[in-house]
Structure 1
Amino acid sequence: MIRPDPAALAAVHARAFPAPWSRDEFAALLAQPGVLAVVEPDGFILIRIVLDEAEILTLAVRPEARRAGLGGRLVGQAAVAAAQAGAVRLFLEVAEDNAAARALYDRAGFRPIGRRKAYYARPDGGRTDALVLGRDLAMNPDTAPLP
């Protein structure tokens, strides 16, 4: 697998978020064991796999490419990669007020399992809670295990 370019990831992240991560932050993350990026031209997802658990660190899609299914494809590809690496559970945190992201994760089979009070800072100085979501990655013939 080709290692993603931290500068390219930072550029997409800057288009997707008001407080983007820097090139150096992406370089440091990508250098860590168990960190994997799934990259497409208009977006990417970054996950970390530790033992039998995986966490979505960030998912970024360029604004002009949203609402075309890319986010769902990236989540699905990350879930497959995590399962292939031995993870049985996939977790993430999402801002409680991010309705679009919450709908995406709900469609991908994630369910709320916790809350982090005042986790995310807002540009106006306010804070919002993060919902901790999780989903099983184990194959089950009675359900669609991966998006």
Structure 2
Amino acid sequence: MLRHKLIHPQISSILAASGHHSTILIADGNYPAASKRGPRAELVSLNLMPGVPTCNQVLEAVLSAIPVEAIQTMKTETEGPYALDGDPPVWDDYRATIKSEGLDLELEPIEKWDFYKAVSTEDHVLTIQTADQQRYANILLSVGVRM
């Protein structure tokens, strides 16, 4: 019986096989998961209905199961239909979840097209597609090491 919060068998299996520097994408409901992922990355679709589950709920479960050394987000646009003034509200949720897991990590926003490139590498092992409808909710985790 598992003691951490993550109980999804396929996700647990993929995470158990990942190693240092592997990346895990927790994607929102708008992310093009079929085309923007690493060549060997597995896709797990958890999108049950709009808004369920959220990226932050998945983040909480994943952080309970693996060591993470870096967390990147997709930088917000400042012009156009998806522009935001400041950080998206979901990033505050991420910061609270990261802190509650006892991690001393900052979110590292990177440009949209650089984010897609970071996800498309050989190190990308898993995309977890959520049904989160918040803008800029995609989050890329880099697996750390057990200390």
How does the TM-score come out when normalised to structure 1?
0.36
* The structure with more helix, counted as a fraction of residues: 1
Greater relative contact order (CA < 8 Å, ≥ 6 in sequence): 2
Q: Could you say which structure has the larger radius of gyration?
A: 1
* The structure with more strand, counted as a fraction of residues: 1
How does the TM-score come out when normalised to structure 2?
0.36
